[in-house]
Structures are given as structure tokens and as C-alpha cells.
Structure 1
Amino acid sequence: MAIDLEIKDQIALVTINRPERMNAMDADAYHRLSEIWQEIRDNRDIRVSVITGAGDKAFSTGADLKSFLGNSTDLGDFWLTQRGQLLNRGIEMWKPVIGAVNGYCLGGGLTLLLATDIRFATPGATFGLSEVRRGVLPGNGGTQRLIAQLPHAIAMEALLTGESFDAETALRWGLVNRLVEHEDLLETALTTARRIRDNAPLAVQATKELALRSRDVDLPTGLRLEESLLKLLRYTKDAVEGPRAFAEKRDVEFVGE
């Protein structure tokens, strides 16, 4: 299939599997990816996910433009805002997502990466949003997330010139957490996923939601939301298990309840 999903030990590994097309995604791939995000969101046996691209040349170069050429559009689809939700197109995903970039990360590949929480890349990775060079704009959050995650002038240069930039630049700008050699990339991402998986899952999801929502509310409102969720978490089994395991000097066993 164009998008592969493997679930093991409460970690979901999502692989964009079209290496012959630089992991560009056609309509079927986008549909499958939407289904996978819903599965990760709703499956309580999944606590964290990793997304990467097959092969050693590309994470994803975004939409497979050749597959969309000549397709007519229906303006009525514009108001179907909940159809085909993706990580970067509005689905509310409070489980952490880790990106592992193994090559070209362009267009929709970069807008997808911008919706992840933690990111690793190979030293040879290349990033960019070139949509303005093709008469369109970087949709699915490109204009929204890049300006929120990078300094204004840097984000505007990338958006308005459409020029690509290398992995060292992405690291310097804070777009990725770390550069990792290709042979270590996936294991580095999975090791981080395991560290997150071993924490209390409801606390992890609450923390991610609060961190993301804080961008859209004032500080007093954010503090109040934080206080509310903290009180709510104290009624969970995991909030009892954590201190108890520490006091008894044993491994903690979180159940997500």
C-alpha cells in the first residue's frame, strides 16, 4: 500500500511508501493517510507514533502533481471541512507524533512535518515550500505553522522565495531537534517514542493539548485550563500509580485510566 502502518508495543510506525515517486502522495495515499491518523487517534493501544518515508531519498515531496493534473474541482467540496482530515489539515491528535526525515521534505511533506511534535533528520535532508513558484500556496497549514514555528523574517523568506534549505539550516532554525545518520534515524525516533510511551498516556496527551492550545489563548486562560486538567488528572489511576511505584521503588505500570 502507498502508506504502511505497523503497530508494535503501543507505538505506531507510519511509512509513506512510494519511493519510486519520492514518496509523493496521490489521492489514494492521502485517503489512506487520513484513515491511519484516525486509527492512531482512536486506538487506545497506541500511545505515540513515528512517521517516515520509505527508502533513503525522501521523506515526502508532498502531492504527486501529475496525478492531480486535469482533475476538476467542485466548489461544494470547500465546505466539507471535516472530510479527509490529516495531521496537518485539522485532525485533533493529542498523542505525540515524531517525524523521521530521511531525504527530501518538500511541499506537503514539509507541511506534514510542521504538524509533528519532535523531529529528527539526516544530514543530507532538504526542506522547502516551493508552491509560490507553481502559482499556488503551501496549503494544509504551510502558511500558518511555519510562521508560528520560525522567526518572522526567516519564515517569510522561505515562504515567499520558495527556495529550499539544507538540514544544517533546519537545525539552526530549530525546525528539527537533531541530525542523525541515516542508519540510526529510525531507531533514534523509536527510542524517543519508547521514552514517551512509558510515561502516563493521559498526562502526555493533556500536556500536548495544553501546549498547543496555549498559542491561541491569553496567559490567564491558559493557566486556568492547565489548573483544570491537572485537577482532572489527579482522579486517574495513573496519578495514583506514579507516586506509589516511586515510593515502592518499582517500575511504574501506567494503564491510561
Structure 2
Amino acid sequence: MAIDFAIKDHIATITLNRPERLNALDEQHYQALSDAWIEVRDNPDIRVAIVTGAGDRAFCVGADIKSYSPASRGWADLWLTQRQPLLNRGLEVWKPIISAVHGYCLGGGLTLMLATDIRIATPDAKFGLSEVKRGIVAANGGTQRIAQQLPYPIAMEMLLGGGTMDADRAAHFGLVNKVVPREDLMAEAQRYAENIAANAPLAVQASKELAVRSRDVDTATGLRLEQMVARTLRQTEDAQEGRLAFIEKRQPKFTGQ
């Protein structure tokens, strides 16, 4: 299965490894990707993950259209909401995810990137949601997250026109964090990952969850959730270690406990 998965120093690296198809995903690859995200979510040794694409031409161009037949599924599938969970389909993964993007990042590739937390891109990266050109919509979060993460008229330009955005414009509008030369892409993503992995895992995951949930609750509720989580984290071993390390002027050794 061409979804490569590796773990080193608390960092998982997921590589979409189908360069001959621009890392397009068929049913089998979507299942393997789903399994990878569940491993990231459930494995306590993983603190952060990087997702990238193999080859020189693409991060991911989404679904392998040639492999899908519109008549192959029954309508009952529409209510299998927990089937084959994906990051961009609503799977709750509170460990930070970093995208390392080069080349084409289109359709489901872009909706995948939109579900990640930090994005590093190369100058040749091209971002687009071209589904309307094929009579469908940008599913798996495409119609939802693009308008949350870009100014409304820019989001509508992408969503309704089906065109592409280059890396510089994506950085200008905050769709990606940084644009780096191709040869520096993975090193820069790794640098971000190592910085995050060095922090207290429970505090990092709590911070991500609170920030994400803040989009769906009123401020008073969000502040109360923050207060409850903050009080809870103060009782953890990592909080005690962080305090002692600060007093002793040393690097903390966090365990996620």
C-alpha cells in the first residue's frame, strides 16, 4: 500500500507515495490513509505528524477519479458517517499536523491540507478546488474550511471558479505559514515538528482542541472550557516537571503524564 508511515523521536511522517498518479487516492489508499490518521490519534508515542507527497510533481491531487464509479455505491453509504474516518472528514486528532506541500495540491489534496495546523510550501505549489469543473462539490470539508481560512471573496473565487492559487498568494492570505525552496521543505517541516514535540504533549493537544472548538462555541463557553482544562492540566506530572525545569534552569523532560 502506497501510504508510507514512519515514527521517529515522537514525530510521525505520512507520505502519500503514488507519484505516477500525482499521489491521487483511490479507495484502497483512502483506507490506508484513514488507518494512518487513527494510528496518529491513538499511539501515545506520537506527539506530532507531518504529511507530504512523494515525487517531484504533487502533494496530492485528491481522489483518483478514474477509479470511482458513480453507480458503485448505494445510498445507504450516505449515513455511514463513521466509515473510513479521515482528518478532513471530521476525525478528531488533537496532535498537531504539519503539511509539507510541493507541486499540485488540488481537490482532496487541498481539503487535506486545510485540515492540518501548520503548512510549509515550495514556490511551485499550486492550490485549487476544481470540483465544480467536474459537476461536483469540494467535499470532505472543502466548502466549509476554505471560507473559514480565507477572506470570503478569495474563498469564493477558488470554490466557484475552480482556478488555482500560487504559493506566494497563498502565503499572502495566510493559507500557508511559509514558502521555502524545494530542497528545504522536509527539513523545515521537521524543524516545526521538533519544536512542537519538545513541548508538553497534553498541553499541546489541549491547546489545539480548545482553539478548534472555539470556532463552534460562544466566547463565554470557550473561556469556561479553557478554565476547566487549565485547572486539570495543573495536576499533571508534566506541569510539575515544567515548573521544576524552569526553576532549575534546564530543559524539561515531558512524558505526557
TM-score, normalization: structure 2? 0.99
Q: What is the aligned partner in structure 2 of residue 69 from structure 1?
A: 69
1:23 aligns with 2:32: no
Superposed counterparts of 1:59-208, under 5 Å: 59-69=59-69, 71-208=71-208
Shift of 1:234: 0.5
- Structure 1: 4+ residue segments shifted above 4 A: none
| Cα separation, 2, equivalents of 1:244 and 1:77 | 53
Q: What is the aligned partner in structure 2 of residue 234 from structure 1?
A: 234
Partner of 1:215, secondary structure, is: coil
| Cα separation, 2, equivalents of 1:90 and 1:165 | 25
Shift of 1:249: 1.6
| Cα separation, 2, equivalents of 1:218 and 1:242 | 31
Distance 1:151 1:70, change over 3 A: closer
1:2·1:18 contact (CA, 8 Å) conserved in 2?
yes
Shift of 1:69: 3.4
1:145-191 deviations in Å (ceiling 9; x for gaps): 00011111110111000011111111111100000111100010011
Partner of 2:90, secondary structure, is: coil
1:124-152 deviations in Å (ceiling 9; x for gaps): 11010000010000000000000011111
1:56·1:182 contact (CA, 8 Å) conserved in 2?
no
Aligned residues: 257
Q: What is the aligned partner in structure 1 of residue 9 from structure 2?
A: 9
| Cα separation, 2, equivalents of 1:9 and 1:42 | 16
The residue type equivalent to 1:49 in the other structure is A
Partner of 2:156, secondary structure, is: helix
Sequence identity percentage = 61
Shift of 1:70: 5.7
| Cα separation, 2, equivalents of 1:122 and 1:184 | 9
Q: CA RMSD in A?
A: 0.8
1:48·1:197 contact (CA, 8 Å) conserved in 2?
yes
| Cα separation, 1, equivalents of 2:23 and 2:161 | 24
TM-score, normalization: structure 1? 0.99
1:238·1:256 contact (CA, 8 Å) conserved in 2?
yes
1:226-254 deviations in Å (ceiling 9; x for gaps): 00000000010000000101111222100
| Cα separation, 1, equivalents of 2:74 and 2:256 | 43
| Cα separation, 2, equivalents of 1:236 and 1:23 | 41
Structure 1 alignment gaps of length 5 or more: none
